[in-house]
Amino acid sequence: MDFHFSNEDKKTLKEVRSFIKAETTPELIAETHKLGHIYGGKEGRRFIRKFASNGWLTPNWPEEYGGLGRSAVLNAAIREEMAYASVPVVFVAAHMAGPVIMHFGSDEMKKEWLLQIARGEIEFSLGYTEPQAGSDLSALDIRAVLKGDRFIVSGQKSFNTASHVADYHWLAALTDPDAKRYHGMSLMIADLKSPGIDIRPMTTMAGWQTNEVFYNDVEVPGKNLVGEINHGFFYLMSALDYERMYPLAAYEKVFDMIVKYAKETITGGQPVSKNPIVRQKLAQIKIQLEANRLLYYRLAHMVDHGQIPNYQASMQKLFATETAQLITNTGMEILGPYSQMKEGSKHAVLSGQMENYYRTSVVETIYAGTSEIQRNIIALRGLKLPSK
């Protein structure tokens, strides 16, 4: 075993850190803050393209598709760097759709999409969930009917985060409604500016926007079908496996802020960090962060060694998101009444971010597969327990 980054990776990571530090201008931060996403706006597009021009968005892709031909470990580490720097880190195109295209797309599709993705020129939004299908991704209603060289799509998606800022929709739709569950779904790429698409915002309790996306006889070119028709559920599950990893560093940064606060804040004549109960709580989080780090890089190790992460990805997501919630709740406890002050309020500490993260963290154990689904997967796939 070996738990170190290679010297080459260390060097790259140092460059990434310097880049992020230098390039996150106040304008970028303001724009990102407003949109809730780093892409979608002018500053964000500029930043991402520049970032991607180093190959950092897809370091583990082959060079012909705009990658660096480097390791999944490096990819994972870069994503952590971005998360720690509060650069919102969910890149659907680079980290979820791209790998599926690479594995299952036709040569034509690869040529059309992968370079654009690797260069950070376009972004996708996930189009999986529908009102009636939460954890049950097989229960889709949206229909895509092949007519000549195009699909005609009608129906509704909901909880589609980032559809209002992305360029394309990574769309799961029913192409054979009579087929048995899991066998009538296809994946395709829809241009979100297509006529007939209507994006309606839904506000979350964390303040950021997600969307309902309505399709009314929307045309999607047939060549935008990913892989084979009616194989979508399989691709979708594979996409979950290939690059499913949950970078926790955004919350790790919150943790570091809480630790700093505990050191610097005096209560009852001594720093909060001298309180034995506070010490126990923060140490416990430190321990879980370390355990998570090992689960996280295991996924990259597996990919680099030709294995496909399976239940291991579920375990990391489960562990990371429960740790995220532990961090935010512990922060609320340690900051006490100050934790409730919102950004901009008098007496807000940590820029009012504590309560913001506390609200945000609610969804972590729900989206991208609830904790219950993850435990099911660990039991069924990891331990081969019987399903009935």
DSSP β-bridge partners for residue 170: 126, 189
Quote the CA–CA distance of 369 and 383 in Å, as a whole number. Answer: 19
Number of residues that bind a copy of itself (CB under 8 A): 4
Nearest distance from C-beta of residue 288 to a copy of itself, angstroms: 18
The item of other proteins, a copy of itself, none sharing an interface with residue 301, based on CB under 5 to 8 Å by kind, is: other proteins
Q: Which is nearer to a copy of itself, 195 or 276 (CB)?
A: 276
DSSP string, 115-170: HHHHTT---EEEE--BTTBSS-TT----EEEEETTEEEEEEEE-S-TTTTT-SEEE
Nearest distance from C-beta of residue 143 to other proteins, angstroms: 20
Q: In which residue are the tokens 């969930």 written?
A: 129
DSSP β-bridge partners for residue 270: 267
The item of other proteins, a copy of itself, none sharing an interface with residue 198, based on CB under 5 to 8 Å by kind, is: none
**Which DSSP state fits 270?**
E
Q: In which residue are the tokens 């998101």 written?
A: 321
Quote the CA–CA distance of 343 and 351 in Å, as a whole number. Answer: 6
The item of a copy of itself, other proteins, none sharing an interface with residue 180, based on CB under 5 to 8 Å by kind, is: none
Nearest distance from C-beta of residue 332 to a copy of itself, angstroms: 18
Q: Which is nearer to a copy of itself, 148 or 276 (CB)?
A: 276
Q: Which is nearer to other proteins, 129 or 224 (CB)?
A: 129
Q: Which is nearer to a copy of itself, 106 or 275 (CB)?
A: 275
**Which DSSP state fits 76?**
H
Nearest distance from C-beta of residue 320 to other proteins, angstroms: 11
Q: Which is nearer to other proteins, 147 or 342 (CB)?
A: 342
Q: Which residues make Cβ contacts (< 8 Å) with residue 260, sequence separation at least 6?
A: none
Q: Which is nearer to other proteins, 218 or 378 (CB)?
A: 378
The item of other proteins, a copy of itself, none sharing an interface with residue 193, based on CB under 5 to 8 Å by kind, is: none
Convert residues 26-45 into a mask of x (bound to a copy of itself by CB under 8 A) and - (unbound): --------------------
**Which DSSP state fits 225?**
B
Nearest distance from C-beta of residue 325 to other proteins, angstroms: 8
The item of other proteins, a copy of itself, none sharing an interface with residue 21, based on CB under 5 to 8 Å by kind, is: none
Contact between 329 and a copy of itself (CB under 8 A)?
no
Contact between 387 and a copy of itself (CB under 8 A)?
no
The item of a copy of itself, other proteins, none sharing an interface with residue 174, based on CB under 5 to 8 Å by kind, is: none
Please say whether the beta carbons of 90 and 79 come within 8 A.
Answer: no
Residue 209 host element (H or E): strand 209-221
**Number of Cβ within a 10 Å radius of residue 90:** 18
Nearest distance from C-beta of residue 81 to a copy of itself, angstroms: 36
Q: Which is nearer to other proteins, 119 or 293 (CB)?
A: 293
The item of a copy of itself, other proteins, none sharing an interface with residue 1, based on CB under 5 to 8 Å by kind, is: other proteins
Q: Which is nearer to other proteins, 115 or 349 (CB)?
A: 349
Q: Which is nearer to other proteins, 134 or 222 (CB)?
A: 134
Q: What Rg value do the Cα atoms of the chain yield, rounded?
A: 21
| 188's tokens | 């395709």
Nearest distance from C-beta of residue 277 to a copy of itself, angstroms: 6
Sequence letter at residue 333 = E
Applying the rule CB under 8 A, the residues between 242 and 301 that interact with a copy of itself are 275-277, 280
Please say whether the beta carbons of 188 and 226 come within 8 A.
Answer: yes
Q: Which is nearer to other proteins, 225 or 318 (CB)?
A: 318
The item of a copy of itself, other proteins, none sharing an interface with residue 43, based on CB under 5 to 8 Å by kind, is: none
Quote the CA–CA distance of 85 and 97 in Å, as a whole number. Answer: 24
The CB-based long-range contact list for 316-319 (8 Å cut-off, 24+ gap) reads 316/245, 316/246, 316/292, 317/244, 317/245, 317/246, 317/368, 317/369, 317/374, 318/365, 318/371, 318/374, 318/375, 318/378, 319/288, 319/291, 319/292, 319/295
The item of other proteins, a copy of itself, none sharing an interface with residue 122, based on CB under 5 to 8 Å by kind, is: none
Q: Which residues lie near a copy of itself (CB under 8 A)?
A: 275-277, 280
